[in-house]
């Protein structure tokens, strides 16, 4: 092992290092994801270089109406994929199917090559695919910390036999509480740990939903309308949190109506209409796709598919500062 003194920098070694850097430039995780997605065709059902979730021939009918009719979908590992589409397109139903909260009429899907079809929601979460849920009335009456602890996996307190051994349970609770507080601190919710979840603002509720999902250390996180009901002042911060999850290596799949958010953070966009996938591609090109424009125009005329002005960092920084003062 050379000592610090023995390490000398010769012109040759500097040149070698520079040459090595030129051969293998350092790229961030995000740049690598974008480079891989750049090789993908912009067509519905396109194959991905590292598909972490694949779905085949997934159909869900309600009476005579077909809510989901997905022929083939692959979700790229480590990327942020947005699932968009007009109201009633089948996005939430498809989310419910993938995460075991609903059963299809037919179809199969896999996670890391393992079949997920027919698995319960709890089993899917345990494997590493977790979705966020809107804060229900019942959960609003619990504190922020209690919400977090409920999401904790492998809680021996829920196991009939282990619950007779308070020591085991207490040890788990201490570890889970420490983990919960760490995650809450990340989302700046630690000071609200003892507050009722129902007292949080719209944006803070969304952060809590995300924080809850992280209690199970997921590989894939599925966010259901993360921007719904969020004050514009908190949008930037929420988007930053979602990007941070991706930059830590998590795969993010999210359903969203807010096109500004979709444009701003998505690496890839999948468009559903009438149960089917009608377009796929990077955000900018998807928003120009005629099939997408037609799908939205057919459903609601007032959707703004462009314009990022709401996300002007200067305006948002000012709004955020004002929100904090309040
Ligand atoms: N449990 C159900 N029973 C009957 N019909 C249902 C049920 N769940 C969903 N649907 C119908 O299936 C279709 C797809 O609904 P879904 O909620 O999946 O669409 P979505 O794209 O998520 O819409 P939105 O963006 O408005 O949330 C809709 O026509 C809806 O009315």
Q: Tell me the CA–centroid distance for residue 88 and ligand 1, in Å.
A: 5
Residue ranges in the chain modelled with pLDDT below 70: 1-26, 135, 137-138, 153-171, 297-326
User: 267: how many CB neighbours lie within 10 A of its CB?
Assistant: 20
Model pTM score: 0.80
Q: Tell me the CA–centroid distance for residue 21 and ligand 1, in Å.
A: 52
Q: Which residues line ligand 1 (CB under 6 A)?
A: 62, 67, 85, 87-93
How is 96-127 classified by DSSP, letter by letter?
HHHTTSS--SEEEEEETTEE-TT--HHHHHHH
Which 3 state secondary structure label does DSSP give 157?
A: helix
Assigned domain for 152 exists: yes
Assigned domain for 15 exists: no
Do 183 and 108 belong to one domain? no
Do 48 and 148 belong to one domain? no
Question: How far is it, in rounded angstroms, from Cα 253 to Cα 97?
Answer: 14
Assigned domain for 18 exists: no
- pLDDT of 221: 96
**Closest atom of ligand 1 to CA, residue 96:** 18
Do 158 and 298 belong to one domain? no
What CATH number should be reported for the domain holding residue 121? 3.40.50.300
Q: 89 near 275, Cβ under 8 Å? A: yes
Do 161 and 222 belong to one domain? no
Q: 228 near 209, Cβ under 8 Å? A: no
Do 144 and 131 belong to one domain? no
Range of the domain at 317: 28-135+216-325
Backbone angles phi, psi at 264, to 5 degrees: -70, -40
Do 59 and 41 belong to one domain? yes
Do 193 and 250 belong to one domain? no
Do 193 and 311 belong to one domain? no
Nearest CA to ligand 1 atom 2: 62
**Closest atom of ligand 1 to CA, residue 86:** 25
Q: Which two tokens stand for residue 152?
A: 């904790």
ipTM for this model: 0.97
Angle at 50 between CA 106 and CA 71, to 5 degrees: 25
Nearest to 294 by CA among 282, 276, 308, 309: 276
- pLDDT of 138: 67
Angle at 205 between CA 100 and CA 111, to 5 degrees: 25
Q: Tell me the CA–centroid distance for residue 134 and ligand 1, in Å.
A: 16
Do 143 and 128 belong to one domain? no
**Closest atom of ligand 1 to CA, residue 68:** 14
Assigned domain for 144 exists: yes
Q: Tell me the CA–centroid distance for residue 62 and ligand 1, in Å.
A: 9
Assigned domain for 11 exists: no
Assigned domain for 17 exists: no
Q: 238 near 203, Cβ under 8 Å? A: yes
Handedness of CA 271, 277, 279, 282 (dihedral sign): positive
- pLDDT of 150: 83
Nearest to 53 by CA among 110, 91, 115: 110
Nearest CA to ligand 1 atom 9: 93
Do 166 and 263 belong to one domain? no
Nearest to 117 by CA among 109, 105, 125, 106: 109
Assigned domain for 4 exists: no
Assigned domain for 5 exists: no
Q: Tell me the CA–centroid distance for residue 107 and ligand 1, in Å.
A: 18
Question: How far is it, in rounded angstroms, from Cα 99 to Cα 94?
Answer: 9
Do 95 and 145 belong to one domain? no
State the SS3 of 11-35.
HHHHHHHHHHHHHCCCCCHHHHHHH
Nearest CA to ligand 1 atom 18: 90
The count of domains in the chain is: 2
**Among 58, 65, 66, 67, which residue has the most ligand 1 atoms within 8 Å of its CB, making it the best to mutate?**
67
Do 243 and 283 belong to one domain? yes
- Among 155, 174, 199, the domain-final residue is 199
């Amino acid at each position: 092992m050379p000592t610090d003194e023995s390490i000398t920098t010769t012109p040759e070694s500097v040149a070698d290092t520079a040459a090595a850097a030129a051969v293998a430039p350092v790229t961030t995780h995000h740049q690598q994801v974008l480079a891989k997605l750049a090789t993908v065709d912009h067509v519905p059902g396109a194959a991905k270089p590292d598909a972490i979730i694949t779905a085949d021939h997934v159909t869900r009918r309600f009476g005579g109406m077909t809510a989901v009719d997905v022929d083939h979908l692959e979700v790229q590992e480590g990327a942020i994929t947005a699932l968009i589409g007009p109201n009633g397109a089948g996005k939430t139903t498809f989310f419910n199917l993938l995460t075991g909260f609903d059963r299809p009429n037919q179809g199969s899907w896999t996670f890391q090559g393992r079949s997920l079809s027919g698995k319960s929601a709890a089993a899917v979460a345990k494997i590493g695919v977790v979705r966020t849920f809107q804060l229900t009335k019942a959960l609003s009456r619990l504190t922020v910390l209690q919400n977090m602890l409920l999401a904790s996996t492998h809680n021996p307190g829920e196991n009939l036999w282990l619950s007779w051994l308070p020591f085991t349970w207490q040890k788990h609770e201490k570890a889970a509480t420490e983990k919960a507080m760490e995650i809450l601190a990340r989302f700046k919710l630690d000071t609200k740990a003892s507050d009722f979840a129902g007292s949080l603002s719209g944006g803070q509720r969304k952060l809590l939903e995300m924080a809850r999902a992280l209690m199970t250390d997921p590989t894939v996180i599925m966010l259901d309308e993360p921007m719904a009901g969020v004050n514009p002042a908190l949008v930037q911060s929420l988007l930053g949190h979602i990007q941070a999850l991706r930059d830590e290596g998590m795969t993010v799949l999210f359903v969203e109506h807010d096109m500004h958010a979709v444009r701003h953070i998505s690496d890839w966009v999948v468009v559903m209409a009438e149960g089917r996938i009608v377009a796929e591609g990077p955000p900018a090109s998807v928003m120009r796709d005629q099939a997408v424009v037609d799908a939205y125009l057919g459903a609601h005329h007032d959707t703004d598919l462009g314009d990022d002005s709401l996300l002007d960092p200067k305006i948002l920084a000012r709004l955020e500062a004002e929100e904090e003062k309040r």
